[in-house]
Amino acid sequence: MSDTTDHLSPFHHGEREVQTRYGVREDIEAFARQVVRDHMPDQHIAFYENLEMVIIGCVNGLDRPWATILAGPSGFMSSPDPRTLRIDALPAPGDPFHRTLAEGTEIGILGIDLAARRRNRLTGTISAVDAKGFAVGIRQTFGNCPQYIQARSIVGAARPSDNRKSLRTSRFNASHRAIFSKADTIFIASAYLGFKGSASRGADVSHRGGKPGFVRMEDSNTILVPDYSGNNHFNTVGNLVVNPKMGLLVPDFDNGHILHATGVAEIVWDGALVDAFTGAQRLIRFRPEDVVCIEGALPYRFRFDSYSGDLNRTGTWDEADQKMSVKQGLDKIMPLRVTEVERESDKVLSLWLMRADQRPLPAHEPGQFLPIQIKLPNQKLPLDRTYTISNPPGGNSYRLSIKDEGEGALVSPYLHAFANPGLEIGARPPRGSFVLDQESDRPAVFISAGIGITPMIAMVEHIALTQRSRPVVFLHGAKSPHQAAFLSRLEALSGELVTMRSHIRFSQGSDSERGVSLPHSEGRIDQVLLAEFLPRDEADYYLCGPTQFMRDTYVSLRALGVDPKSIRYEAFGPATVIGDPATIGKNLASGPVGVRFSKTGVDVTWTPESGTLLDLALAAGLTPEYACRSGVCGTCAVRALCGEVAYIRDPAAARANDQVLLCCSVPHASQDQDGCGPGLRLTIDL
């Protein structure tokens, strides 16, 4: 595609291709034509004149991009006119920019104030060079958002040295790995050198930030950088699409070194590794051809102030590795230790857990659960249970909020009675497909009852961290304020999220022993209440709670015209599926079914209220192995000795012809009642 086809666009064909790929082409074109200028407005001029350093991207005679830093006291940059930026600073010998500085050189400039998290980008051509510095003729200029910038304040100039050691290699080495391992800030230089009449032609330099170590050195010839959501211009990625040559600048803020590299980049658009790294929309794989590390070259000493809040929605490579291990079936039991215990209501206790071996926790998505394994006194074998992670991703702890199920239960009463800081349990990595759609910007409607609030609180807290403008409706049912978990947190969230509407229904009255400032009423969540709160526009609906609540709510939503494809649900306790009878599947048994667990000699009767065969076995006091509860891992596979099962969802795990997955199966509807013996329709080898 030729850029002569749209001379008015601020974007070249590579940038437009990526914008189209992500479905933002029309919106960003209209927006950019208003904010991308061919001159600097007064506020941009003032911004550059106050800066004490600037990031430079340039292209040398071999069309290799490089990135570097120039510095000086406030005022070392000035603008004699809105289309010119004067920089009174020169690169030091050994700096890759030193030999490239000449009239006609394509240059990109990133003015960045780390302390204020402000930045501005411009592109142009060097128009003059003298003994003090150089001037740049501006081609494009625009502001950038503060995303992913770690706040650092300049606390003094670095001690100058005439004997700075410059080490040049063609590959990365161990010292470079040490820099990458703690880097939270890098800069990428790229260039589009196509149609000379295009306003988008030229060099560019951009900022990338992440949690320390977000740049992974795969080997001496490759690094991987996660690329997060940005301003949708796709200047860097668009340049690399049409010209894969790339420059890299990594400042070592602790030791004052600067790592420069130039080489070739590849965009990894999708795949398991992209999916595994939380927040990554794609990856940039970079292979160096020339590497220069200059010791003590950073012009200032910096004080670290704070990480960007945007990092809450991003991951780490350790977390990505854990996710990949889960997908590859290598998820071993990890040791967790209780660090804090918090009472949420009369019957709900929260346990905060960290890894006992000090390793990072596997990342989770908002709404997922944690399969735990705990050894109780007087129990020969550990017991497996699953509890929802009720805190959002991004921290170094899991919060499990557990209801005391009372007489007949084993694990929850034990934890309520004996869980104290220091208690150790085992756990597999987080599982579950009932998760928040983090790509959607539609209103999110959360409808829960009882302990079903646990995934909902994780989801809405994540929205508060990452999507503060997203409309939220939060409806919850509880017996009374004393039995309602997270009321104080919901009150706080309602203050933090101006787009959030909340209402609590108390089925046994709003007893006066505890004041509730949230909007509330007596009764149960019903169609009348739903009609009052449902958004007029299309929305995403999340349901979680007891079986009958789920079914009644689903029917009410459908009666109000909600598209069933917009409804996601998770059931707590003995629940199978909800929905219209026609959508459930004709192969699911609808009446009582006799089931025998042959190894233990236990005969039980299954009904739709019993839930899955896993729920049935647990309720009968059996201890089958299980983990994901969603048919993904295959842990719960056992032999069906007689009879057939039907699946409430399509299982992904492989299994032998005579095996069934307990976690997502129920008895089949088609077999005679006595097909496996008097009163029995199904026999399981358990």
Mean pLDDT for the chain overall: 88
Q: What is the pLDDT of residue 575?
A: 38
Q: Tokens at residue 392, please? A: 């959002």
pLDDT winner (highest mean) among 197-206, 335-344, 568-577 = 335-344
Distance between start and end Cα atoms, the chain: 64
CB 222 within 8 A of CB 41: no
**Cα dihedral 178, 180, 182, 187 in deg (nearest 10):** 140
Q: What is the pLDDT of residue 657?
A: 79
Q: What is the pLDDT of residue 555?
A: 87
Q: What is the pLDDT of residue 27?
A: 86
Name residue, tokens 């690169």.
Answer: 91
Q: Does the pLDDT of residue 133 top 50, yes or no?
A: yes
Cβ within 8 Å of residue 306, ≥6 positions away:
150, 151
d(CA 508, CA 529) in angstroms, rounded, equals 17
Please compute, for residue 474, the number of CA atoms within 13 A of its CA located in the half-sphere on the CB side: 31
Q: What is the pLDDT of residue 628?
A: 61
Q: How confident is the model at residue 163 (pLDDT cuts 50, 70, 90)?
A: low
Percent of the chain exceeding pLDDT 70 equals 92
Q: Between 319 and 186, name the one with better pLDDT.
A: 186
Q: Does the pLDDT of residue 16 top 90, yes or no?
A: yes
Q: Does the pLDDT of residue 460 top 50, yes or no?
A: yes
Q: What is the pLDDT of residue 581?
A: 39
Q: What is the pLDDT of residue 571?
A: 53
pTM (whole model) above 0.75: no
Query: What length is written for the chain?
Result: 686
Q: Between 105 and 516, name the one with better pLDDT.
A: 105
Q: What is the pLDDT of residue 443?
A: 96
Q: How confident is the model at residue 276 (pLDDT cuts 50, 70, 90)?
A: confident
Q: Does the pLDDT of residue 583 top 50, yes or no?
A: no
C-alpha distances (whole Å) from 375 to each of 337, 358, 362, 513, 629 are 14, 22, 22, 38, 20
Ramachandran bin of 172, using left for φ above 0, alpha for ψ from -120 to 50, beta for the remaining angles: beta
Q: Does the pLDDT of residue 185 top 70, yes or no?
A: yes
3-class secondary-structure state, position 32: helix
Q: What is the pLDDT of residue 650?
A: 66
d(CA 387, CA 394) in angstroms, rounded, equals 19
Q: How confident is the model at residue 513 (pLDDT cuts 50, 70, 90)?
A: very low
Q: What is the pLDDT of residue 654?
A: 64
Q: How confident is the model at residue 98 (pLDDT cuts 50, 70, 90)?
A: confident
Nearest Cα to Cα of residue 185 among 52, 18, 310, 59 = 310
Q: What is the pLDDT of residue 683?
A: 93
Q: Does the pLDDT of residue 4 top 60, yes or no?
A: no
* Domains, in order of start, for the chain: 3-313 (2.30.110.10), 337-427 (2.40.30.10), 444-573 (3.40.50.80), 587-684 (3.10.20.30)
Q: What is the pLDDT of residue 499?
A: 93
CB 367 within 8 A of CB 435: yes
Q: What is the pLDDT of residue 294?
A: 92
What is the Cα Rg of the chain in Å? Answer: 30
Nearest Cα to Cα of residue 194 among 249, 238, 232, 138 = 238
Can you list the positions of beta strands (E) in 453-522? 472-478, 500-506, 520-522
Q: What is the pLDDT of residue 201?
A: 87
Q: What is the pLDDT of residue 433?
A: 77
Q: Does the pLDDT of residue 51 top 50, yes or no?
A: yes
Percent of the chain exceeding pLDDT 90 equals 56
Q: How confident is the model at residue 47 (pLDDT cuts 50, 70, 90)?
A: very high
3-class secondary-structure state, position 55: strand
Q: What is the pLDDT of residue 574?
A: 35
Q: What share of the chain is helix, strand, coil (3-state, %, to 5)?
A: 20, 35, 45
Q: Does the pLDDT of residue 5 top 50, yes or no?
A: no
Q: What is the pLDDT of residue 329?
A: 53
Q: What is the mean pLDDT of residues 539-564?
A: 89
CB atoms within 10 A of CB 659: 16
Q: How confident is the model at residue 149 (pLDDT cuts 50, 70, 90)?
A: very high
Q: How confident is the model at residue 312 (pLDDT cuts 50, 70, 90)?
A: confident
CB atoms within 10 A of CB 46: 11
